[in-house]
Chain A
Amino acid sequence: MSCGNGQNMSFLEANARQRANWLVDEGSFTELLDPQDRMTSPHLPALGEAVSFDDGVVTGVGRIGTRPVFVISQEGRFIGGAVGEVHGAKMVGIFRLALEAYEAAAEKHPDDLDAYRPVVVISFETGGVRLHEANAGLLAHAEVMDLIQDTKGKLPVISLIGSKVGCFGGMGFVAAATDAIIMSPQGRLGLTGPEVIEQEMGKEEFDASDKSLISRTTGGKHKYIMQDCNILVEDKVADFRRALCELLSKPYEEICSCRRIGSYELVKEQMNLVALAAELNPGDAKDVWRYYGNEHPEQLPELETAEFLSVVHRRPKEVH
């Protein structure tokens, strides 16, 4: 229910509901299970934790052109965007509806499916499982992974990562499992959070308070170099939307070629990368950037996005 259109707003500073509304065509978004449904967590009250009418995730459907866009937009300010029972079920619900919509579209538009093919867009902002309802969150993660596999060959799932909390924990592999990933340099993607790495390896090896190190390890620019992020955009709602629209204008097969995992071929490519990890044993992501031909890796973080994109050397992809 946000008024106005904030295309010029920073994606990083936009809240989940604003992102959901502004990513799709103006005025086309219908929130499903909106705040009026008052679907709050049944588990947080007993633990004395504040509840939210949307349980930290905005779900709904909008349009980009003729295509229905099923949106999941997480709110990092509510318990770090963590996934509990309701939050998880809402994610699952969106996938189920998108898959049903695909069946309908496939039946109705067999010859022109790409124009009507539904898409799932996830604007991630989460650390993964919500501790207060951890078991439910865990089971929901598994359901989402199962459903992502169901979408293969049917409809694209696109990740947008550029919000404050980033995308960590179990949601880190959910994002990896989607078809394409769009990030801003401010976006963060990983599995293990910095504090846990510090705890495991010691402050000398990994100082979790060093934000620059975290950016180099998990940030949009690094993930772009590694081909773990497909499209790198400025931190603007409009830039995320433009990248999303451009991507969706491509044939489905081309979108699928953005994937990094999800087939034996891709796993073999990743295994070559792991062999390189063992060989290089980098002390810092900069060592890897240099390996891929960036002569002055220390300068890459300083560059504005456009300049970065024009000079950066990325990991060559093996599977196309």
Chain B
Amino acid sequence: MESMIGHGRDAISMIVDPGSFAENWVGAAQMPEGYGPGAVVGTASLNGRPVTILANDAQAVNPRFPVVYFGVIGMEEAYKMASAVYESILADRDKPVGEKRPLLLIVDTPGNGPGKVEEIFGMNKATGAYQLALAEARKAGHAVIAMVIGRAISGAFLCHGLQADHILALPKECGTMIHVMPLTSISRITKMDIERLEELSQESPVFAAGVDFFYRLGGVEEIVPAPEGMRDALARHVELVEALKREGHYEQTGPWSRGALGAERGGRTTRPEVLRRMAEEFAAVSSSYLA
């Protein structure tokens, strides 16, 4: 199966209604040309409905920030994406839940800008700002769906993907990569041989690299078998999420829902126990704190 890595723009065309993508336009605002070139934002329609597109362009190089290329999300990119999210919220602020435009995240990014200037000015703020914007949109009633088409690596996936209501991914046969660190690096650092780690990852998906393990952890809602299926899958999940939100079931969407999904699929099984016991222990002493 053909890899979609580096083809963020092609993915947009495969997903939205033909010819409907207006790059840089979101609501009433237009993003400046050439700003944050590694991030592609704009408005398109999906089955006739306006959607906001947030994607990575791995072909672009940011001339102002030399560590930002090959899909890296730099400061400009992250703030550009955050702006597109806020513009989407603004544009639909008076619309009821279910009619607010969905946000589609097309994910193919290897990381956040790992440079000196980035640290001096605070890359942590940029990625944080985008995540807060997405969370705000989600809680305002927008359906936010991520589609992993290539690389979704560590902090960059947190930035662009893990704040979505639902996360979909192409299968590993498409070259899709979801991980914090490849198993070879884990092997080097933990000094365990790779065979043993592979064996262990079958028992527990918590450290292994790959789409399937994230699926088992509830980190990926659904694996879309082939790129041709992306459009329909996204449309279907927009509907699912909107239905949940219309009924007020926000806890069945977003990062929180992935906890329950993971427990169900045998992923993070200790997490619910931790939460239960903490609540229980607090209940026993709460009267002395909640005056």
Contact = CB atoms under 8 A, between A and B. Distances in A.
**A63, A139, A201: which has the most chain B beta carbons within 10 Å?**
A139
Contacts of B11: none
B128 A267 contact: no
Interface residues of B, number: 85
Interface in A87-143: 88-90, 92-94, 96-97, 101, 104-105, 108, 116, 128-129, 131-143
Interface stretch (B97-105, B234-242, B283-291): B283-291
A271 B83 contact: yes
Contact of A131 (B181, B219, B258, B259): B181
B175 interface: no
A175 B124 contact: yes
A270 B281 CA distance: 41
Contacts of B190: 47-49, 131-132
Contacts of B135: 145-146, 148-149
Interface in A221-272: 222-223, 226, 228, 260-264, 266-268, 270-271
Contacts of B117: 277, 281-282
Interface in B125-145: 125-129, 131-133, 135-136, 139
A173 B290 contact: no
**B117, B200, B208, B254: which has the most chain A beta carbons within 10 Å?**
B117
A59 B278 CA distance: 9
A49 to B, nearest CB: 8
Interface in A52-96: 59, 61, 63, 66, 68, 84-86, 88-90, 92-94, 96
B125 A173 contact: yes
Contacts of B180: 129, 131, 134-135, 137-138
B282 A261 contact: no
Contacts of B205: 135
B258 A217 contact: no
A267 B115 contact: no
B242 to A, nearest CB: 19
Contact of A177 (B87, B132, B258): B132
B120 A133 contact: no
Contacts, number: 281
Interface residues of A, number: 97
Given A85-B271, A93-B275, A149 B136 contact: yes
Decide if the interface of chain B is mainly helix, strand, loop or mixed: helix
Interface in A127-180: 128-129, 131-143, 145-146, 148-150, 152, 169-170, 172-177
Interface in B28-84: 64-65, 67, 75-76, 79, 82-83
Interface stretch (B2-10, B16-24, B153-161, B222-230): B153-161
B206 A134 contact: yes
A285 interface: yes
Contacts of A136: 206, 217, 267-268, 271
Interface in B250-291: 254-256, 258-259, 262, 267-271, 273-275, 277-279, 281-282, 285-286, 289-291
A139 B270 contact: no
7 tightest Cβ-Cβ pairs between the two chains A and B:
A173-B128, A134-B180, A149-B135, A172-B124, A142-B162, A264-B86, A89-B274
18 contacts: A33-B277, A43-B206, A47-B192, A61-B282, A85-B270, A97-B282, A134-B186, A135-B207, A139-B259, A174-B128, A176-B129, A192-B112, A200-B67, A228-B122, A267-B83, A267-B129, A273-B122, A277-B117
Interface of A: 30, 32-33, 37, 39, 41-43, 46-49, 59, 61, 63, 66, 68, 84-86, 88-90, 92-94, 96-97, 101, 104-105, 108, 116, 128-129, 131-143, 145-146, 148-150, 152, 169-170, 172-177, 189-192, 196-197, 200-201, 205-206, 217-218, 222-223, 226, 228, 260-264, 266-268, 270-271, 273-274, 276-278, 281-282, 285, 288
